Structure 1
Amino acid sequence: MPKFSLVPCLISPLQILYVVDRVFERQLRCKEGNEVMSVKLWIILFVLREAYKFVSEMVSSNKGFREACLVYAKLLLKWEPGEQVRKNQETLLRNAIAAFPYHHSLLYETMAKAMSKTPFGERPTAFEYIVQGLFGQRLLMVSKFCATCGSCTAKKRCSKCKLPYCSVECQKFDWPIHKVCCESIKSWNTEPDVRDSISLEELQAQIGEIDV
């Protein structure tokens, strides 16, 4: 989960968006295009734009910046009993891939085609497709991703439904949502997990070999 500083930021959100946009545009326009980095930066840019739009509207309604960010985070984490995915998060990530401007990219075509085969609301999630596309099948298979922030080194799990978390902070942040869905999650989150047989040291070594 993002750690919010109490110190006012000296760089405006619009400046951040501009810089990320410029770096993104360079990836496929240079002589040797970098498809993977291009898609990574696009997802970051798309999510930042959506977050900025939401937060700006709340701030204009006299909400504090930090409070608005937390409201947006909770909106993305919204989950209803019986659902296999967080629908707001799923929509955001699917829209991010669909909006990628360079449709000639082989990586984009592969991810979009794979994602389209899974009906909305079912698993695998858009997050899982993105991880596999950008970092490979191996990382997806051996990592436990925090259900709140997405960190790939989650070591804690709900004792009932086995949903992974990277920290007590993330688990507490998700708890108001999780507690009403826990029993429902338990009903489908029952497949044997190959990730239980790999040590944290092995996982960190594999992550270290990935060019992020």
Structure 2
Amino acid sequence: MAPPKKGDVTAEESELLKVISEGNVQEAGRLLGSKNVRVNCLDQHGMTPLMHAAYKGKAEMCKLLLQHGADVNCNEHEHGYTALMFAGLSGSKEITRMILEAGAEIDVVNSVGRTAAQMAAFVGQHDCVTIINNFFSRERLDCYTKPQGLDKEAKLPVKLAGPLHKIIITTNLHPVAIVLMVKENPLLADVDALRKCYRVLDLIIEKCMKQREINEVLAMKMHYLSYIFQKCISFLKEHENKLDGLVKSLLKGRDTDGFPYYQEKFIRECIRKFPWCEATLLQQLVRTIAPVEIGNDPTALSVLTQTITGQIGFMDAEFCTACGKKEADKRCSICKTVIYCNQNCQKMHWFTHKKVCKKLKESREKHEAKEKSKQKGKQNTSETSVGEAETVPESTEYSSTIHPTSKDGSDSGDIGTGMIAEAKTPQEDLTTEKQSSHPVATCRAEE
């Protein structure tokens, strides 16, 4: 069959493009069953039905087209756009993940030299950027479930491939979230299983760094997961309460301000032990993190997450203090500054939060009183001031935990970061060069 030409569509194919825009899945299914309809037909701009469905955010339509053999890597579009690029532009996380799982190539660039992740970042669809940057196909992992070369047995048991893949593609890099994923899966919460998993991750790291197209970002993520797995092993072998002890250690905050001191040191040590010392990404991370005293912003977790996921919208989102889940919306009823995604996380974090909860409440109330007084003073001294517009709170050393923005006392700051450390922990193997440049994220929207 001759390849489709732009604009060369039959009447039924034109009808298919129309019903895709309308979201009529049943009618689209009927049309796709016709011999006169090609699933990869091109309109006058070179867009396939899958591109139209992805751009419109029609997930069920995309699923139907993929079932009928839609080509996810077609780039006959007049500007070189692919279905993955349109999925990223639409902001649909479901469609983006669906197209990636169907085999979409993430490194293809359009006519202006931008990848799908970069296009999504340009229009502010950072969740899609994160999914693209963290994607690792199941097929790439499955190859380790089969004996390679002279090996008599596979390096990874088939039963572990699924649970390990789920952790590899996770977009929540909070160490507690990863430990909980291990803890909640009986197949993974075993010393021998974790040992096999982290050894496979180490092989992937080596492959990323030795292949022709070096992938330092993926290598760093695999190293981070491998390091957490190894720490899980040590707790499983040495502690009676198994992984609960590791979770508590990662959550425990300083008595003075609640800052997770051990967690910060843990992530810094992980980065320091990245085996490829010459890696540009490692040097960028070190230059960003090393000069920062523990307790100040940016935290090691925020820098590492931004580097790996490509997210640049941290200030616009709120994360669970306990597990790092995005868009957490439940606050401590006492201090109203610490955020959680559910009651389980609140209970899990209470053992350490209760030590500083009242302090945070008092600090918030003082801050609110100061802001009200300042606002009232401005209204009294200026006849031209804008009616009842809110004033922006001035930055303080507690600015990341206390930012009242609404009448009901709710806050909008990040949780658990930004406190001033008592003393800087020496990092002998980290440079202390005073540079403030942040690591180059995989995808940036500077256009």
Range class of TM-score, shorter chain: 0.7 to 0.9
Q: What letter matches 2:202 in structure 1?
A: D
Question: Equivalent residue for 2:158?
Answer: none
- My pick for the range that moved more, 29-38 or 131-140, is 131-140
TM superposition shift of 1:97 = 0.9
- The equivalent of 1:30 in structure 2 is 211
Residue of 262, 271, 276 corresponding to 1:88? 262
Question: Shift of the alpha carbon at 1:130?
Answer: 1.1
Amino acid at match of 2:211: C
Task: Provide the residue aligned with 2:227 in structure 1.
Answer: 46
Query: Normalising by the residue count of structure 1, what TM-score does the alignment of the two structures yield?
Result: 0.78
Q: TM-score, normalised by structure 2?
A: 0.39
- State the match for 2:345 in structure 1: 170
1:40-62 Cα offsets, whole Å, 9 max, x none, are 1111111211221122112xxxx
Partner of 1:200: none
Q: How many residues are aligned here? A: 190
Q: In the alignment, which residue of structure 2 is the partner of 1:104?
A: 278
- Quick one: structure 1 residues 103 and 167, their matched pair in 2 at CA, closer, same or farther if it must change by over 3 Å? same
User: 2:323 aligned to 149, 167, 176, which one?
Assistant: 149
- The one-letter code of the counterpart of 1:85 is F
> Within 5 Å, which residues of 2 pair with 1:1-212?
1=177, 2=180, 4-5=183-184, 7=186, 12-58=193-239, 63=240, 67-83=241-257, 85-136=259-310, 138-159=312-333, 160-185=335-360, 187=363, 188=398, 189-191=401-403, 196=412
Compared CA separation, residues 32 and 170, structure 1 to 2 (3 A): same
Q: Map Cα deviations across residues 43-100 of structure 1 (whole Å, 9 max, x no partner).
A: 1111211221122112xxxx2xxx3101110111111232362111011001011111
Change in CA separation of 1:132 and 1:183 when aligned onto 2, cut-off 3 Å: farther
1:161 shift after superposition? 4.1
Instruction: From the two aligned structures, give the one with the greater helix fraction.
Output: 1
Q: Residue 55 of structure 1 contacts residue 72 of structure 1 at CA under 8 Å; is this kept in 2? A: no
Q: Which amino acid aligns with 1:190?
A: I
Aligned CA RMSD, in angstroms, stands at: 2.6
| 1:81/1:184 contact within 8 Å kept | no
Large movers: runs of 4+ above 6 Å: none
What residue identity is the alignment partner of 2:271?
I
Q: Secondary structure at the match of 1:104?
A: coil
- Partners of 1:129 and 1:161 lie apart in 2 by 26
CA deviations over 1:140-163 (Å, ceiling 9, x no partner): 222222111122232222242422
CA distance in 1, matches of 2:199, 2:230: 10
CA 1:191–1:112: 2 relative to 1, 3 Å: farther
CA deviation profile, 1:134-193 (whole Å, cap 9, x unmatched):
234523222222111122232222242422212211111111211112234454212468
TM-aligned CA deviation for residue 31 of structure 1: 0.9
Whichever residue aligns with residue 297 of structure 2, its letter is R
Amino acid in structure 2 at the alignment position of 1:31? R
